[in-house]
């Protein structure tokens, strides 16, 4: 099971590298379907996000928009706390079904915003996206969907997209791990397994990032979103 989880995590990391955001979209339903607990999946996703996004944040540091990144991170903090509390209030079946629905709807929403961009310039949307991402991060591991939706909707340039999300992932995932530890929802088993997976995950992520910034974004986004949508639907069906 650990070996299977490693392959799934590496595949998710590759898609995350290519698209800039797709780790939770793919890893959450895939690992849940493989039999891992939600607590395990949430912890593993946050750990992998920190490990894989540090190098991306450094690589594209000159493209980071500090104000936007700080607003996303600041908005995420209360969401991280509330998301962790929600995990303890709902049963596993409801959380799995909810995670699957969120993945499928999130993938459709991202695809829709790429085809029919709507420009909405409201100041509160950035911290709101951060809050929603934080809430989903500690409750389902899907920390990147709301910020990715926001940046896609605003047609942010590819390198700035990668840079801002990488900074957001590193900061909010680190804070989220602390919140989980305080609430007693941090998985030590996930930490151990993630260490086993890390070499393959980092290599896959670097490969995906290299391809993502060189080849047309549309091709990789369609592939990542298609896989995520199918995985989300299957998760709901098998919850």
Is residue 45 scored above 80 in pLDDT?
Answer: yes
pTM: 0.83
Is residue 177 scored above 90 in pLDDT?
Answer: yes
Residues 69, 211: Cα–Cα separation, whole Å: 24
Residues 52, 180: Cα–Cα separation, whole Å: 20
Domain region containing 75? 2-238
Residues 5, 2: Cα–Cα separation, whole Å: 5
Task: Give 70-80 pLDDT, tens digit per residue.
Answer: 999 999 999 99
Residues 41, 194: Cα–Cα separation, whole Å: 10
Task: Give 216-227 pLDDT, tens digit per residue.
Answer: 766 766 766 776
Q: Judge whether 235 and 45 are in contact, CB under 8 Å.
A: no
Q: What is the mean pLDDT of residues 76-102?
A: 79
Number of compact structural domains in the chain: 1
pLDDT score for 93: 72
Per-residue confidence at 97, pLDDT binned at 50, 70, 90? confident
């Amino acid at each position: 099971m650990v070996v299977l989880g490693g392959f799934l995590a590496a595949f998710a990391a590759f898609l995350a590298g290519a698209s800039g955001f797709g780790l939770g979209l793919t890893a959450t339903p895939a690992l849940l379907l493989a039999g891992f607990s939600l607590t395990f999946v949430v912890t593993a996703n946050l750990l992998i996000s920190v490990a894989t996004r540090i190098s991306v944040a450094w690589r594209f540091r000159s493209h980071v928009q500090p104000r936007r990144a700080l607003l996303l991170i600041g908005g995420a903090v209360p969401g991280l706390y509330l998301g962790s509390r929600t995990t303890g209030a709902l049963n596993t079946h409801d959380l799995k079904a909810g995670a699957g629905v969120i993945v499928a709807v999130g993938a459709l929403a991202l695809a829709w915003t790429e085809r029919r961009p709507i420009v909405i310039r409201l100041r509160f949307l950035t911290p709101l996206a951060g809050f929603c991402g934080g809430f989903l991060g500690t409750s389902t591991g899907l920390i990147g969907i709301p910020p990715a939706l926001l940046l896609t909707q605003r047609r942010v340039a590819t390198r700035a997209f990668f840079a801002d999300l990488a900074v957001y992932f590193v900061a909010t995932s680190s804070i989220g791990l602390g919140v989980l530890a305080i609430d007693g929802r941090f998985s030590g088993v996930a930490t151990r397994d993630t260490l086993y997976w890390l070499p393959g995950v980092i290599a896959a992520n670097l490969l995906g990032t290299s391809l993502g910034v060189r080849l047309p974004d549309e091709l990789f986004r369609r592939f990542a979103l298609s896989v995520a949508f199918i995985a989300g639907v299957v998760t709901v069906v098998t919850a």
